[in-house]
Amino acid sequence: MIVKYAKTRQADFMPLPQDIKNNVMTWLNYLTSIGFTAKDPLFPQFASQFNQSNLLENTITHTEIKSNTTIRGIFENTFMTAGYEYLRPHSFRHTMIRFAEKQSPEFLNAVRQSLGHSSIDVSFNSYGQLSEGEQRARIAGFEHDFDN
């Protein structure tokens, strides 16, 4: 996968519910049926133009979406259409790190690498901030025998 600043990395999906996997596979099968290959983007651009009858036609291109604004718009429209509160795409990266930090150090490191972070410090500085409520709960729940 090509990512920002022309870096490349291997990215793996976190475990997902079956319905999400099914939707992604249905989309991938559709793209394959219209001539897309493994080298094409999973989420391509659409080209819109008016035809000779003055009707708007949308065509899927073999070009990746490069605008964060476009991607956020797609997410927002999809969430709202489905009746869900909008979550920014970057929120999923935050969720992955927060989940991983409760697992093993090896799992956290694997997620860090999958996100393209050069060190665990980058992951924690970017996504490891606790809310005020989480800070209080963790401090209040801390127990230590100070006499020993």
Has residue 98 been placed in a domain?
Answer: yes
Q: How confident is the model at residue 34 (pLDDT cuts 50, 70, 90)?
A: very high
Contact 101, 108 (CB under 8 A): yes
Is 7 domain-assigned? no
**Tell me, what's the pLDDT at 2?**
45
C-alpha dist (Å) from residue 6 to 3, 13, 52, 68, 85: 6, 21, 39, 16, 33
Residue 28, domain member (yes or no): no
Residue 29 located in a structural domain: no
Based on the fold, state whether residues 52 and 96 are members of the same structural domain. no
Q: What percent of the chain has pLDDT over 90?
A: 9
Q: How many domains does the chain have?
A: 2
Query: What is the overall mean pLDDT for the chain?
Result: 82
Structural domain including 112 reads 89-141
Q: Is residue 37 domain-resident?
A: no
For residue 3, pLDDT over 50 is answered with no
> Same domain for 113 and 133?
yes
- Check whether residue 69 and residue 94 sit in a common domain: no
pTM for the whole structure? 0.56
pLDDT surpassing 50 at residue 52? yes
